[in-house]
Structure 1
Amino acid sequence: MSDPEANKAVAHRYMKALIDGDIATIEGLQHPDVKWWILGFGDMDRATFVGAVASGLMTAEKREAEITGLTAEGDRVAVECHAKMTFADGKVYANQYHNLLVIRDGLIVEGREYMDTRASAAAFG
Protein backbone atom coordinates (compact mmCIF):
# COMPACT_ATOMS: atom_id res chain seq x y z
CA MET A 1 0.00 0.00 0.00
CA SER A 2 1.31 3.45 -0.88
CA ASP A 3 1.95 5.97 1.86
CA PRO A 4 0.25 9.23 0.75
CA GLU A 5 2.40 11.36 3.07
CA ALA A 6 5.63 9.86 1.74
CA ASN A 7 4.35 10.39 -1.81
CA LYS A 8 3.54 14.02 -1.02
CA ALA A 9 7.13 14.44 0.21
CA VAL A 10 8.44 13.05 -3.11
CA ALA A 11 6.17 15.43 -5.05
CA HIS A 12 7.34 18.36 -2.94
CA ARG A 13 11.01 17.44 -3.53
CA TYR A 14 10.29 17.21 -7.26
CA MET A 15 8.68 20.66 -7.33
CA LYS A 16 11.54 22.17 -5.31
CA ALA A 17 14.03 20.62 -7.75
CA LEU A 18 12.15 22.27 -10.63
CA ILE A 19 12.34 25.64 -8.88
CA ASP A 20 16.03 25.17 -8.08
CA GLY A 21 16.88 23.92 -11.58
CA ASP A 22 18.26 20.74 -9.96
CA ILE A 23 18.23 18.36 -12.91
CA ALA A 24 20.07 15.61 -10.97
CA THR A 25 17.27 15.48 -8.37
CA ILE A 26 14.58 15.63 -11.07
CA GLU A 27 16.21 12.62 -12.75
CA GLY A 28 16.76 10.83 -9.45
CA LEU A 29 13.10 11.04 -8.49
CA GLN A 30 11.95 9.33 -11.70
CA HIS A 31 11.64 5.61 -12.35
CA PRO A 32 13.79 4.58 -15.35
CA ASP A 33 10.61 3.72 -17.30
CA VAL A 34 8.61 6.80 -16.26
CA LYS A 35 5.89 7.93 -18.67
CA TRP A 36 5.13 11.65 -19.04
CA TRP A 37 2.26 13.40 -20.78
CA ILE A 38 2.14 17.20 -21.11
CA LEU A 39 -0.85 19.13 -22.39
CA GLY A 40 -0.03 20.43 -25.87
CA PHE A 41 3.02 18.16 -26.24
CA GLY A 42 1.66 14.66 -25.66
CA ASP A 43 3.57 11.59 -24.52
CA MET A 44 7.24 11.79 -23.59
CA ASP A 45 9.78 9.30 -22.39
CA ARG A 46 12.16 10.12 -19.55
CA ALA A 47 15.01 11.46 -21.72
CA THR A 48 12.73 13.69 -23.79
CA PHE A 49 11.01 15.06 -20.68
CA VAL A 50 14.28 15.78 -18.84
CA GLY A 51 15.71 17.45 -21.95
CA ALA A 52 12.65 19.67 -22.30
CA VAL A 53 12.70 20.62 -18.62
CA ALA A 54 16.44 21.31 -18.68
CA SER A 55 16.25 23.54 -21.75
CA GLY A 56 13.44 25.63 -20.28
CA LEU A 57 14.74 25.84 -16.73
CA MET A 58 18.38 26.37 -17.48
CA THR A 59 17.77 29.36 -19.74
CA ALA A 60 15.73 31.19 -17.08
CA GLU A 61 17.69 33.55 -14.85
CA LYS A 62 15.09 33.40 -12.10
CA ARG A 63 12.54 30.72 -11.28
CA GLU A 64 9.72 31.04 -8.77
CA ALA A 65 6.84 28.76 -7.86
CA GLU A 66 4.21 28.64 -5.19
CA ILE A 67 2.50 25.36 -4.44
CA THR A 68 -1.15 26.22 -3.84
CA GLY A 69 -2.44 22.70 -3.37
CA LEU A 70 -0.94 19.29 -2.63
CA THR A 71 -3.32 16.35 -2.31
CA ALA A 72 -2.49 12.64 -2.13
CA GLU A 73 -4.50 9.47 -2.19
CA GLY A 74 -2.78 6.12 -2.58
CA ASP A 75 -0.02 6.42 -5.19
CA ARG A 76 -1.47 9.56 -6.83
CA VAL A 77 -0.42 13.09 -5.87
CA ALA A 78 -2.04 16.21 -7.30
CA VAL A 79 0.09 19.37 -7.23
CA GLU A 80 -1.30 22.79 -8.08
CA CYS A 81 1.10 25.70 -8.42
CA HIS A 82 1.74 29.14 -9.85
CA ALA A 83 5.12 29.46 -11.55
CA LYS A 84 7.09 32.32 -13.02
CA MET A 85 10.37 32.37 -14.94
CA THR A 86 12.33 35.47 -15.85
CA PHE A 87 14.78 35.33 -18.75
CA ALA A 88 17.92 37.37 -19.49
CA ASP A 89 16.11 39.39 -22.17
CA GLY A 90 13.55 40.49 -19.58
CA LYS A 91 10.79 38.19 -20.85
CA VAL A 92 8.61 36.82 -18.05
CA TYR A 93 6.70 33.58 -18.38
CA ALA A 94 4.00 33.00 -15.78
CA ASN A 95 1.55 30.14 -15.72
CA GLN A 96 -0.62 27.99 -13.49
CA TYR A 97 -0.01 24.26 -13.42
CA HIS A 98 -1.67 21.10 -12.27
CA ASN A 99 0.58 18.05 -12.10
CA LEU A 100 -0.71 14.57 -11.40
CA LEU A 101 2.13 12.33 -10.29
CA VAL A 102 1.89 8.58 -9.77
CA ILE A 103 4.53 7.55 -7.25
CA ARG A 104 5.54 4.00 -6.35
CA ASP A 105 8.41 2.97 -4.09
CA GLY A 106 9.52 6.58 -3.80
CA LEU A 107 9.84 7.21 -7.55
CA ILE A 108 7.62 8.96 -10.07
CA VAL A 109 6.37 6.32 -12.50
CA GLU A 110 3.91 8.53 -14.37
CA GLY A 111 3.35 12.26 -14.67
CA ARG A 112 0.71 14.37 -16.35
CA GLU A 113 1.05 18.14 -16.58
CA TYR A 114 -1.71 20.59 -17.38
CA MET A 115 -1.27 24.34 -17.85
CA ASP A 116 -2.74 27.37 -19.58
CA THR A 117 -1.62 26.68 -23.15
CA ARG A 118 -2.37 30.27 -24.21
CA ALA A 119 0.15 31.60 -21.67
CA SER A 120 2.72 29.09 -22.87
CA ALA A 121 2.16 29.92 -26.55
CA ALA A 122 2.35 33.66 -25.84
CA ALA A 123 5.70 33.24 -24.10
CA PHE A 124 7.33 30.67 -26.36
CA GLY A 125 5.45 30.94 -29.67
Structure 2
Amino acid sequence: MADIEANKAVARRYMQAVVDGDAETIESLQHPDVTWWILGYGDMSRADFIASVKSGLLTAERRHVEIITLTAEGDRVAVEAVSEMTFPDRTYRNEYHNLLVIRDGQIVEGREYMDTRLAAATFG
Protein backbone atom coordinates (compact mmCIF):
# COMPACT_ATOMS: atom_id res chain seq x y z
CA MET A 1 0.00 0.00 0.00
CA ALA A 2 1.28 3.45 -0.94
CA ASP A 3 2.25 5.90 1.79
CA ILE A 4 0.14 8.83 0.61
CA GLU A 5 1.68 11.41 2.96
CA ALA A 6 5.22 10.37 1.97
CA ASN A 7 4.27 10.64 -1.72
CA LYS A 8 2.80 14.11 -1.16
CA ALA A 9 6.05 15.11 0.58
CA VAL A 10 8.05 13.98 -2.47
CA ALA A 11 5.84 16.12 -4.71
CA ARG A 12 6.32 19.14 -2.44
CA ARG A 13 10.11 18.59 -2.35
CA TYR A 14 10.17 18.37 -6.14
CA MET A 15 8.26 21.65 -6.55
CA GLN A 16 10.45 23.36 -3.95
CA ALA A 17 13.59 22.14 -5.74
CA VAL A 18 12.35 23.92 -8.88
CA VAL A 19 11.90 27.14 -6.85
CA ASP A 20 15.35 26.72 -5.30
CA GLY A 21 17.01 25.91 -8.63
CA ASP A 22 18.23 22.70 -7.01
CA ALA A 23 19.04 20.45 -9.97
CA GLU A 24 20.59 17.80 -7.71
CA THR A 25 17.34 17.31 -5.79
CA ILE A 26 15.28 17.39 -8.98
CA GLU A 27 17.44 14.57 -10.34
CA SER A 28 17.52 12.57 -7.10
CA LEU A 29 13.72 12.54 -6.83
CA GLN A 30 13.41 10.90 -10.25
CA HIS A 31 13.83 7.18 -10.70
CA PRO A 32 16.52 6.33 -13.28
CA ASP A 33 13.80 4.88 -15.54
CA VAL A 34 11.28 7.70 -15.06
CA THR A 35 9.13 8.56 -18.05
CA TRP A 36 7.68 12.00 -18.70
CA TRP A 37 4.89 13.15 -20.94
CA ILE A 38 4.38 16.88 -21.45
CA LEU A 39 1.37 18.38 -23.19
CA GLY A 40 2.42 19.71 -26.57
CA TYR A 41 5.82 17.98 -26.44
CA GLY A 42 4.97 14.31 -25.91
CA ASP A 43 7.18 11.66 -24.35
CA MET A 44 10.52 12.65 -22.85
CA SER A 45 13.29 10.57 -21.36
CA ARG A 46 14.68 11.41 -17.93
CA ALA A 47 17.80 12.91 -19.51
CA ASP A 48 15.82 15.05 -21.96
CA PHE A 49 13.43 16.23 -19.25
CA ILE A 50 16.25 17.20 -16.89
CA ALA A 51 18.12 18.97 -19.70
CA SER A 52 14.94 20.87 -20.55
CA VAL A 53 14.43 21.97 -16.94
CA LYS A 54 18.08 23.01 -16.57
CA SER A 55 18.14 25.00 -19.82
CA GLY A 56 14.72 26.54 -19.22
CA LEU A 57 13.24 27.05 -15.78
CA LEU A 58 16.46 26.82 -13.80
CA THR A 59 18.04 29.66 -15.79
CA ALA A 60 15.52 32.11 -14.34
CA GLU A 61 16.87 34.77 -12.00
CA ARG A 62 13.85 34.33 -9.76
CA ARG A 63 11.45 31.42 -9.53
CA HIS A 64 8.17 31.28 -7.66
CA VAL A 65 5.83 28.30 -7.63
CA GLU A 66 2.66 28.24 -5.59
CA ILE A 67 0.91 24.93 -5.07
CA ILE A 68 -2.82 25.58 -5.32
CA THR A 69 -3.99 22.04 -4.61
CA LEU A 70 -2.26 18.77 -3.93
CA THR A 71 -4.30 15.58 -4.01
CA ALA A 72 -3.07 12.02 -3.60
CA GLU A 73 -4.52 8.58 -3.99
CA GLY A 74 -2.43 5.43 -3.97
CA ASP A 75 0.87 6.10 -5.75
CA ARG A 76 -0.49 9.12 -7.69
CA VAL A 77 -0.12 12.75 -6.64
CA ALA A 78 -1.86 15.54 -8.53
CA VAL A 79 -0.33 19.00 -8.15
CA GLU A 80 -2.01 22.15 -9.41
CA ALA A 81 0.37 25.08 -9.34
CA VAL A 82 0.96 28.57 -10.68
CA SER A 83 4.42 29.83 -11.44
CA GLU A 84 6.23 33.04 -12.17
CA MET A 85 9.78 32.90 -13.46
CA THR A 86 11.82 36.06 -14.03
CA PHE A 87 14.46 36.00 -16.74
CA PRO A 88 16.72 38.93 -17.71
CA ASP A 89 14.51 39.81 -20.69
CA ARG A 90 11.06 38.48 -19.79
CA THR A 91 8.72 37.11 -17.15
CA TYR A 92 7.10 33.71 -17.64
CA ARG A 93 3.83 32.95 -15.86
CA ASN A 94 1.95 29.73 -16.34
CA GLU A 95 -0.46 27.37 -14.65
CA TYR A 96 0.33 23.68 -14.32
CA HIS A 97 -1.24 20.40 -13.48
CA ASN A 98 1.32 17.69 -12.78
CA LEU A 99 0.33 14.09 -12.24
CA LEU A 100 3.21 12.26 -10.57
CA VAL A 101 3.41 8.53 -9.95
CA ILE A 102 5.66 7.97 -6.95
CA ARG A 103 7.06 4.68 -5.72
CA ASP A 104 9.67 4.13 -3.02
CA GLY A 105 10.28 7.87 -2.67
CA GLN A 106 10.95 8.57 -6.35
CA ILE A 107 8.95 9.82 -9.29
CA VAL A 108 8.55 6.96 -11.75
CA GLU A 109 6.17 8.72 -14.13
CA GLY A 110 5.26 12.34 -14.71
CA ARG A 111 2.57 13.97 -16.80
CA GLU A 112 2.62 17.74 -17.14
CA TYR A 113 -0.20 19.91 -18.43
CA MET A 114 0.20 23.66 -19.00
CA ASP A 115 -0.66 26.45 -21.40
CA THR A 116 1.63 25.38 -24.23
CA ARG A 117 1.05 28.66 -26.08
CA LEU A 118 2.68 30.58 -23.20
CA ALA A 119 5.56 28.12 -23.00
CA ALA A 120 6.22 28.35 -26.76
CA ALA A 121 6.05 32.14 -26.71
CA THR A 122 8.57 32.28 -23.86
CA PHE A 123 10.97 29.49 -24.78
CA GLY A 124 10.45 29.15 -28.52
The TM-score, its normalising length taken from structure 2, stands at: 0.97
Q: How far did 1:88 drift?
A: 1.0
Counterpart of 1:19 in structure 2 is 19
Q: Deviations over 1:40-82 (max 9, x none)?
A: 1110111110000000123211111100000000000000000
Counterpart of 2:31 in structure 1 is 31
Q: Deviations over 1:62-117 (max 9, x none)?
A: 1111000000000000000000111112x011000000000001110000000011
Percentage identity across paired residues of the two chains: 71
Matches within 5 A, 1:38-117: 38-89=38-89, 91-117=90-116
Counterpart of 2:119 in structure 1 is 120
Equivalent residue letter for 1:109: V
Q: How far did 1:121 drift?
A: 2.1
Where in structure 1 do 4 or more consecutive aligned residues deviate above 2 Å?
Answer: none
Q: How many residues align?
A: 124
Unmatched segments (≥5 aa) in structure 1? none
RMSD across aligned positions (CA): 0.8
SS at 1:40's partner residue? coil
Asked if the contact 2:80/2:96 (under 8 Å) is kept, the reply is yes
CA distance in 1, matches of 2:42, 2:14: 20
Equivalent residue letter for 1:52: S
Unmatched segments (≥5 aa) in structure 2? none
Equivalent residue letter for 1:102: V
Asked if the contact 2:56/2:123 (under 8 Å) is kept, the reply is no
SS at 1:50's partner residue? helix
CA distance in 2, matches of 1:75, 1:118: 30
The TM-score, its normalising length taken from structure 1, stands at: 0.96
CA distance in 1, matches of 2:121, 2:48: 23
CA distance in 1, matches of 2:44, 2:120: 19
